[in-house]
Structure 1
Amino acid sequence: MNCPKLPRTCALPRPWLRLHEECIVIRGYFSQGLFGRDLLGSIVVFLVALPLCMGIAIASGMPPAAGLITGIVGGIVVGAICGSPLQVSGPAAGLAVLVFELVREHGVAALGPVVALAGLIQVVAGLSRLGVWFRMISPAVVAGMLSGIGILIVASQLHVLIDAVPKARGLENFAALPAALHDAISGGGGNLAALLVGVSTIAIMLAWEKLRPASLRFVPGALLAVVAVTAAVQWLGTSVNKVEVPSNLWATVTLPAFDSLGGLLQPYTLVAAFTFALIASAETLLSAAAVDRMHSGVRTRYDRELAAQGVGNLICGVLGALPMTGVIVRSAANVQAGSATRVATILHGGWILVFATLLPWLMRMTPVACLAGILVYTGIKMVNLKQIKSLAVYGRGTALIYVATTLAIVATDLLAGVLIGFALSLLRLAIQSSRLKVGLDAHHESGTQLLQLDGSATFLKVPALARTLERVPPNTRVLLEVDRLRHVDQACLELLTDWGRNAPVRGCELVVDWHALHRRVEGVRKAA
């Protein structure tokens, strides 16, 4: 399109002026080579996303087509309206555990309404400008959540790795694993072949990560492993479970019936939808913040990103697909491949659509154990123990919150573990905010001591303050300084009042500016 520059004195109607400006932008997009960067980036992200879409669907107890549809919607729809142009959305390993439990307890039919309602919650939150509030979750809790999810994924996919059915809970999977491995190794047959397929997949990914040349760094190890292992299985005629992908991808779409709308008011639906929305939003927005640190381009608009994720989940819920989040693995690949705009994200969704529509027979050659190997590798990478050291820089309590959240998720479930981590974060905050330095020092006046309070005097510090007051010798005049006291609550105020009232019995006296002390009580105006 040829759009000559207009002279400064030229006056055009507003619609024509807007069209001219858009024409200049489009021409600059191609002339500056941005399209070439986005095209290459979209292919790289597509190669990363394709096996993960199918693998996460299998880990969630859903058919691979459900993951492919979510990847398509996340790329084309969410990519076009998102607030983080370089972030890539799709089915996330972080929600696989939740989906698996929901499908196991309430059936596949329950997933669509839950995901749609979660999407609606995200849309409302985004339009209400609540996006930034989802980032208030402690990074230690989020890191612990991802580590716990990684452990659960490894525990379940190790069973899939030998063509076995995983258990419902993480601890059950770990407990049943030795017997399952023994049966696979001693019994031979398909289980042993599947184990070799999965181990070979992990070995190829590890070797590629360590040995790949710099010129081929954009080639994903997962893709290389899938191609190599699938080719070997086909050539040898190995009997293992293969991925089941329908010839017509959209034939698997089941629109919700009118009767199922009543399920939206079921208690389990509301709880599950809120859980999905909370965890998906936190993971998405923290991923977006991480992506912003990887490049110097357009910054994330968090409220718009949250609303876009809601639209995507609303569509996925209607189509009966998996829930989506912004995924750091694909987003990092997008940035590292040199993508410049949101066009790369949109194109990657288009590649998934074309591949799943025109080449389903090719995907049906992929062994399930191969995808399980990819997820085992991904889950191990999510459990980054080096984070303990980096979090400990902000205090040992932060590192302990990370460990406690991880263990709680593995021992209970995802929601309970996150709530435990959040509660521990609030407890640590309460303890830190109630730090109080209590000093009882001699005064230059004879028979007088100086009681200094520095910090916040809360009920947590009542024992320490009481022990200090007990050390006051008889016949002593105590001067209480409150200049460095930021806050005093009812418990500490009553302790000081009672001690001052009973002090004359021991010949003591408490001297304090009660007016200044009461100004530091919460809820009282701090007027001079």
Structure 2
Amino acid sequence: MKNNLSSYLSYTKNDLPAGLVVFLVALPLCLGIALASGAPLFAGIITGIVGGIVVGFLSGSSLSVSGPAAGLTVIVLNAITDLGSYEVFLLALVIAGALQLALGFFKAGIIGLYFPSSVIKGMLAAIGLILILKQIPHFFGVNANAVGEAEYSIWNLGSIVSYLGVLIDHIHVGALLVGGSSILLMILWDRPALKKIPAFKLIPKELVAVCFGLGLNSVFAAMNSPLAITSSHLVNLPVFESLGSVKESFSLPDFSQLTNPDVYIVAVTLAIIASLETLLSVEAVDKMDPAKRRTPQNRELKAQGVGNLICGLIGGLPMTAVIVRSTANLNANAKSKMSAIYHGIFLAAAVGFIPFLLNKIPLASLAAVLILVGFKLTKPALYKQQIRLGIEQFIPFIVTIVAILATDLLTGIIIGMAVGVFFILKANYKVPYFFDKESTGEGDQSINIRLSEHVSFLNKASLQLTLDHLPHNSKVVIDGTSSKNIDVDALEVIHNFKSTAKERGIMLDLKAVPELV
């Protein structure tokens, strides 16, 4: 361990500046994701700190950074409402962390390989749409009680019209100016021409947007303008004046709800989605790592489990390894996982020493950041890409989106998986063998069926259908010489056909096809 620590510290000149860059990216995202989740804003900071310091220390990943994830906002928002309180939700998060820890010990790190990519992309696209929709009131500076006047459903035109009417009636022009200018600034900041300037590459656009929004609203306030955004639409983090105030700022899980079955449904959902998002993120980061280091998947699940368990115990949000912060870390030339740890330390220092400054950030600026995050998850190019990949990829993708929007995240994923599995079965249904057919001059037919390398139970239906439709009075060879494994279900189909072939005048020759035991 000592040697490892000294090795990590040898990269301080790279990792410390990278940690600062990641902190600047993470700060607005931690606050914004907590806002989108309907949780206390301080909960996002807690998760950023734990994800940086604790998970950063335990993880085997060199470059990934963990923290609150946009992909979990929908689960958290719905769960807090359904479970009745944030404290009950924290209990579900504790259980989810324990489940992730168990998944790591049971070496379940390969679970990400069993989810079709079309379903995963559909899940993220749906989350992006929901993220954008949920930020609209904050973007326009509309009070929660005003939004509550309208029932909103994306499947009901009347409710959409009613909802938009309420928004228009209650728009705060100052918030709209702050939110709109924040989005415009972030879009301009990403322009290729500006990216050629070093400062535009080093300073995160999210931080620029938040600082600009803070500055613009401070000008409104100094001028006593009606455009000034009131405190109810600004960040509200606790200010620590004593040790007692620190303790009061943390929430504790409600263990009295251990017998509530809904808690376990939320816990399982969190554990699956958080694990999946983490595994996908670390895989993506490993591919971008210049040193081509590989993250131990099971160790990562254990680290994330510990992190989520701790967050549940002290009032944080659920976490995953997150691609935005990890990419910023890589682009900032980080060399080891110490950069993630440094970013967690910077977050702790910020909430400890400058909460007065953070509490001047308009929620409209954070909403602007999250709207762009949501757009990246569900951008039009993604839909075009899925269409180009073919119907087998596009249908599970679009069904997952529609199902999530119509029901909830877990149900939508299950429906998307069912459709995805259908196309997988259909593909396997077509390729268990190679079919050669010849006709002799006397009208007889000679058919050669060469079995593929692996013939599984998934190929049973296709094989059965093919054998049932073979012409009478033909010569048939079923050749298994290239097969390494023929499933028992497929063997039963072949040997059942053998017992009935004579009745149809079929001369059958089996080559290297095992007998049934």
Q: TM-score range by the shorter chain?
A: 0.7 to 0.9
* Preserved contact between residue 58 and residue 303 of structure 2 (Cα < 8 Å): yes
* Preserved contact between residue 34 and residue 40 of structure 2 (Cα < 8 Å): yes
Pick from 323, 327, 345 the counterpart of residue 328 of structure 1: 323
Unpaired runs of at least 5, structure 2: 222-227, 241-245
In 2, Cα distance between the equivalents of 1:224 and 1:144?
Answer: 30
* Preserved contact between residue 501 and residue 508 of structure 2 (Cα < 8 Å): no
SS in 1 for 2:447: strand
SS in 2 for 1:512: strand
In 2, Cα distance between the equivalents of 1:374 and 1:173?
Answer: 28
* Preserved contact between residue 135 and residue 282 of structure 1 (Cα < 8 Å): no
Residue identity in the other structure for 1:171: I
Larger mean CA deviation between 310-319 and 396-405 belongs to 396-405
2:286 aligns with 292
Distance 1:344 1:442, change over 3 A: closer
**Residue 84 in structure 1 maps to residue 79 in structure 2:** no
Q: CA deviation at 1:388?
A: 4.6
Distance 1:135 1:489, change over 3 A: closer
Residue identity in the other structure for 1:221: K
**How high is the TM-score relative to the length of structure 1?**
0.83
SS in 1 for 2:320: strand
Distance 1:253 1:465, change over 3 A: same
- Corresponding residue pairs, total: 482
* Preserved contact between residue 434 and residue 460 of structure 1 (Cα < 8 Å): yes
Unpaired runs of at least 5, structure 1: 1-17, 504-508
In 2, Cα distance between the equivalents of 1:125 and 1:184?
Answer: 44
SS in 1 for 2:474: strand
**Residue 230 in structure 1 maps to residue 214 in structure 2:** yes
In 1, Cα distance between the equivalents of 2:324 and 2:440?
Answer: 66
* Preserved contact between residue 458 and residue 491 of structure 1 (Cα < 8 Å): no
Q: CA deviation at 1:222?
A: 1.0
1:72 aligns with 49
Pick from 85, 96, 109 the counterpart of residue 87 of structure 2: 109
Distance 1:460 1:269, change over 3 A: farther
Q: CA deviation at 1:419?
A: 1.4
Distance 1:345 1:389, change over 3 A: same
Residue identity in the other structure for 2:408: D
Q: CA deviation at 1:281?
A: 0.6
* Preserved contact between residue 111 and residue 276 of structure 2 (Cα < 8 Å): no
**Residue 252 in structure 1 maps to residue 253 in structure 2:** no
Distance 1:514 1:439, change over 3 A: closer
* Preserved contact between residue 445 and residue 475 of structure 2 (Cα < 8 Å): yes
2:224 aligns with none
**How high is the TM-score relative to the length of structure 2?**
0.85
Pick from 437, 455, 458 the counterpart of residue 460 of structure 2: 458
* Preserved contact between residue 156 and residue 170 of structure 1 (Cα < 8 Å): no
Q: CA deviation at 1:173?
A: 9.6
* Preserved contact between residue 477 and residue 511 of structure 2 (Cα < 8 Å): no
**Residue 121 in structure 1 maps to residue 102 in structure 2:** no
**Residue 446 in structure 1 maps to residue 423 in structure 2:** no
1:8 aligns with none
SS in 2 for 1:131: coil
1:146 aligns with 124
Distance 1:170 1:58, change over 3 A: farther
Residue identity in the other structure for 2:210: V
2:243 aligns with none
In 2, Cα distance between the equivalents of 1:44 and 1:22?
Answer: 24
Distance 1:178 1:158, change over 3 A: farther
2:271 aligns with 277
Residue identity in the other structure for 2:392: G
In 1, Cα distance between the equivalents of 2:287 and 2:511?
Answer: 50
Residue identity in the other structure for 1:218: L
Residue identity in the other structure for 1:412: T
Distance 1:442 1:359, change over 3 A: closer
Larger mean CA deviation between 421-430 and 350-359 belongs to 421-430
Larger mean CA deviation between 101-110 and 400-409 belongs to 400-409
Q: CA deviation at 1:406?
A: 2.1
Distance 1:213 1:227, change over 3 A: farther
Q: CA deviation at 1:37?
A: 1.4
Q: CA deviation at 1:247?
A: 1.0
Residue identity in the other structure for 1:511: M
* Preserved contact between residue 135 and residue 285 of structure 1 (Cα < 8 Å): no
Cα RMSD (Å) of the superposition?
2.9
* Preserved contact between residue 184 and residue 192 of structure 1 (Cα < 8 Å): no
Residue identity in the other structure for 1:205: M
Alignment of 1:126-275 (within 5 A): 126-162=104-140, 163-165=142-144, 171=154, 176-185=159-168, 187=169, 191-210=172-191, 211-216=194-199, 217-237=201-221, 238-240=228-230, 241-248=233-240, 250-256=247-253, 260-275=254-269
SS in 2 for 1:89: strand
Residue identity in the other structure for 2:442: S
* Preserved contact between residue 83 and residue 303 of structure 1 (Cα < 8 Å): no
2:299 aligns with 304
SS in 2 for 1:513: strand
Residue identity in the other structure for 1:459: A
Deviations 1:492-518 (A, max 9, x none): 558846863643xxxxx1111369667
Distance 1:177 1:447, change over 3 A: closer
SS in 1 for 2:172: helix
Pick from 333, 339, 345 the counterpart of residue 344 of structure 1: 339
Deviations 1:434-472 (A, max 9, x none): 215685844437352123435565325655654x44xx4
SS in 1 for 2:304: helix
In 1, Cα distance between the equivalents of 2:461 and 2:71?
Answer: 39
In 1, Cα distance between the equivalents of 2:67 and 2:402?
Answer: 27
* Preserved contact between residue 170 and residue 411 of structure 1 (Cα < 8 Å): no
